[in-house]
Amino acid sequence: MHTTQLHRGRLLDHIQLVVKDLAAARDFYTAVLAVLEIPAVDTADGYFWAAELVVSPAESPAALGLLTGRHHLAFQAKDRATVDAFHRAALAHGGRDNGAPGERAYHPGYYAAFVLDPDGNDIEAVYHGEGRRNVPSVTIDF
């Protein structure tokens, strides 16, 4: 009998963005992620990463010479002030406004800001309001 053990944790293990200009992407993501208290780490292999996000140039072996195209990524913020600071940092480091900080109609208390990164990806910081941030976990038996 063969047994397969699966790790059940967060939904995603990692996301890779392949960018045109690694230096511009590094400047942008280092600044906005610092506001969110997520450190970015450079590597000797020509890419950088932060938590589950990996950013590399098209020349990297994993990219096969292709850019990833436009994506939407939403980062969690600890409060509204962090969303505001994210937006300011993004605009100061090569981002373009794609929705100023404010409440959205997704659900009561959804406070977010949207920017386009140097490659045109739609990057969001969101605070879900008090009581909505920590959703109870669900156990699924297979």
Q: What is the CATH number of the domain that holds 29?
A: 3.10.180.10
pLDDT of residue 142: 38
- pLDDT for position 135: 45
- Tokens representing residue 125 in the block: 């910081």
- Residues 2-35: b if buried by 16+ CB within 10 A, e if exposed: eeeeeeeeeeeeeeebbbeebeebbebbbbbbbb
Tell me whether residue 45 is in a domain: yes
The pLDDT of residue 52 is: 92
Q: Which residue is it, tokens 């997704």?
A: 106
Whether residue 138 lies inside any domain: the answer is no
The answer to whether residue 136 is domain-embedded is no
Q: How many structural domains compose the chain?
A: 1
Instruction: Say if 139 falls within a structural domain.
Output: no
Q: Is residue 135 part of a domain?
A: no
Answer yes or no: is 86 within a domain: yes
pLDDT given at position 139 = 40
User: What residues make up the domain containing 84?
Assistant: 15-58+68-127
pLDDT at 6: 52
pLDDT score of 134 = 41
Per-residue pLDDT of the chain (142 residues; tens, 9 = 90+): 555 555 556 677 889 999 999 999 999 999 999 999 999 998 878 899 999 999 999 998 878 888 998 999 999 999 999 999 999 999 999 999 999 999 999 999 999 999 999 999 999 999 999 866 444 443 444 3
Q: Is residue 132 part of a domain?
A: no
The answer to the question of residue 101 being in a domain is: yes
